[in-house]
Every structure is written in structure tokens, then in C-alpha cells.
Amino acid sequence: MGWSIAEVARTSGVTSRTLRHYDAIGLLPPAWVADNGWRYYEHEQLLRLQQILLLRELGLGLDAVAAILEQQSRHTTVEVLRQHRDWLVAEQERLARLVHTVDRTITDIEKGGEMAPDTMFQGFEHNPYEAEARERWGDDAVDASHERIKALSADDAEKARTGYGRVHDGLAPLLAEGVPASDERVQELVDLHFQVISLFWTPNAEAYRGLGQMYVDDERFRQNIGQGNDALVTYLRDAMAIYADGKL
């Protein structure tokens, strides 16, 4: 009488390991255990297993499943399901925010891919670091960079239009509010900017300050970063200078 663990496993689509696990945590003990230790299941256990699987499919944890089956009350069940639903929605929103942030970071990096290396080499071009740059990345890379920076057209600017989004998004309202560049919130954003830059190139204080100045001086950077709002770029430069003085 009754079914063995493998038979139950086959007909219900779970592994015998899972059934043993459910036994171990007390969620689904077998109907009876033979003298040799073998587990045997009856119709009642099969039904309970189906209930477990139904609830598990909703994404509930086994503890929540156990709570529902223990109470067998509509009120408790709906209560647990509602909590679970709330959790699902919250998690979904968290993921949505992450997707957004990742998207922003990707465009930031891609924009960095179009501009930052050139920035980097241009920064070296007329200062004592150029020799080091040529040594570190090779003449070809530096020369190619010079080519690319010359070739930067309105097209590229357009392509990069959405870049530096995370920093831009946060900075613009702070500027509008008249928050000083030394403000903590501004410096946090600059820190983010510095970190994204630092994923591939770590400027020292002087280079970072120079990068900010270049954003202002070079029309393409000014346009890309400020999106027509030149004050924003100046603001970023000032904030970067303060950051460089304080943290680098």
C-alpha cells in the first residue's frame, strides 16, 4: 500500500531529494516509514504535495507555505499572499530602479568610451604626462586618440547625447536650487562621476581638475555635458575642483 518516494517523485514532477527535504523540515512527512527506513506516501500526502507545489509556484518560501497549510484558514492564507504580493511588488520596483541605473551607467561608460580616452590623451598632450601616456598605451593609441578627437562631429555629440545621465540628472536640480558646489549632495554626485571615470582611468587631483576645466573650455564637451546649459558645466567644473582639492 502507498507509494514509494521515487513513484511520488515521478508522478508529481519533483525529485526524491526534494521530498526528503520536505520531510526533513517537517513540511511533508510520509504517511509511514517502514522498518527498513523507506518512506511511503498515501493519497493524503499527494494532495498536500500538490498544495505545496501550487503555493510554491507563486514564489512563496517554504516557511510561508508551511504557515498557510498549518492554518488552513482563508484569512491567514489571504494575509500571507497579500504580504507576499507586497514583497513581490517592492522587489519589482527595486529591479526597475536597478535597470534604470544600469542603463545610465552603460551610457555613461559608452560615452566615456567615445570621449574619456581622448580627454585622457588630450589632457596629456600639452603637459608632462604625454610621454608617460605614450609609454603606457603606445604611440598608436595616442595618435588614434588624436585622430578620433579631431573627428568628433555633431553626429558623435548626438550619439553621446544621453551620456553622463546619472550625474546630469542629479546636478541640474541642485544648480537650479542654488546649492553651492561645495555642498555634500553635489560632492556625492561628483564622487559618482569620479568613480565612473575611475573604472578605466584614475586621474590625480591635477588631472581631475584639468578635466573639469576642459569640459568648460571645449565646446563639444560643454555641449554634450551641459545640453545647452553652460552654467551646469561651470558648476560641475567648480565642484570637481573642490572634490580634487578635498579628496584627491
Partner DNA sequence: GGTTGAAATTGACGTTACGTCAAGGTCTAC
Partner DNA sequence: GTAGACCTTGACGTAACGTCAATTTCAACC
Under rule CB under 8 A, residue 15 binds its own copies: no
> Which residue, 145 or 233, has its beta carbon nearer to its own copies?
145
- How far is 24 from 66, CA to CA, in rounded Å? 13
DSSP H stretches of helix in the chain = 5-12, 16-24, 43-57, 62-71, 74-125, 130-137, 139-151, 154-159, 165-177, 184-198, 205-217, 219-226, 230-247
Annotate each residue in 37-76 with x if it binds DNA (CB under 7 A) or - if it does not, as one string. xxx----------------x----xxx-------------
> Which residue, 39 or 111, has its beta carbon nearer to DNA?
39
The residue within the footprint of DNA, chosen from 2, 12, 20, 31 (CB under 7 A), is: 20
Scanning the structure block, which residue is given the C-alpha cell 521515487? 6
Under rule CB under 7 A, residue 15 binds DNA: yes
5 interface partner picked from DNA, its own copies, none, CB below 5 to 8 A per type: DNA
Shortest distance, position 236 Cβ to its own copies, whole Å? 19
- Distances, alpha carbon 22 to alpha carbons 29, 31, 70, 171, 192, in Å: 7, 13, 14, 53, 47
> Which residue, 56 or 148, has its beta carbon nearer to DNA?
56
Shortest distance, position 101 Cβ to its own copies, whole Å? 6
| Grid cell locating 163 | 551620456
Under rule CB under 8 A, residue 188 binds its own copies: no
Q: Which residues of 123-153 are buried (b: 16+ CB within 10 A; e: fewer)?
A: bbeeeebeeebbeebeeeebeebeeebeebe
Angle of the 219-226 helix axis to the 205-217 helix axis, nearest 10: 90
Under rule CB under 8 A, residue 95 binds its own copies: yes
Under rule CB under 7 A, residue 4 binds DNA: yes
Shortest distance, position 198 Cβ to DNA, whole Å? 19
* Chain positions contacting DNA, by CB under 7 A: 4-7, 15-18, 20-22, 34-39, 56, 61-63
